[in-house]
């Protein structure tokens, strides 16, 4: 994670109005949910794939995220997709 502490990276975040949050050194379990999804994204789109342009990579990421949210059922969501789970939650919240 040292690349995320570089001056150049910090400046890019500041210019994009993004607030960085880092866990303790060598402690990925501080943010296990995010670590897990980043791993899944890497496996599903980046590892063992090459893209001719950054736009092609971005399009692949958008497709992956859409597919994950709309088609991938999750046991922890009572076998619903993330979108279906969110919709169910919102309906219960309104009721």
Residue 58 lies in a domain: yes
* Overall domain count for the chain: 1
The rounded average pLDDT for each run of 10 residues, N- to C-terminus, in the chain (95 residues) is 82 90 72 84 90 95 94 90 93 84
Question: What pTM value is reported for the model?
Answer: 0.64
Question: Where in the sequence is the domain holding 63, given as residue range(s)?
Answer: 50-95
Q: Is residue 9 part of a domain?
A: no
Within-domain flag for 31: no
Could you give the residue ranges of the DSSP H alpha helices within 1-95? 7-15, 32-41, 54-71, 82-94
Rg from Cα positions in the chain: 17
Residue 29 lies inside a defined structural domain of this protein? no
Alpha carbon distance, N-terminus to C-terminus of the chain: 44
Whether residue 95 lies inside any domain: the answer is yes
Per the domain annotation, does 16 fall within a domain? no
């Amino acid at each position: 994670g040292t690349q995320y502490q570089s001056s150049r990276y910090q400046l890019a975040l500041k210019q994009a109005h993004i607030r960085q949050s880092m866990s303790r050194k060598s402690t990925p379990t501080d943010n296990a949910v995010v670590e897990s999804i980043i791993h899944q994204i890497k496996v599903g789109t980046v590892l063992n794939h090459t893209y001719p342009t950054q736009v092609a990579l971005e399009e692949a990421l958008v497709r992956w995220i859409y597919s994950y949210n709309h088609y991938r059922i999750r046991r922890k969501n009572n076998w619903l997709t993330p979108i279906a789970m969110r919709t169910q939650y919102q309906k219960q919240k309104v009721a």
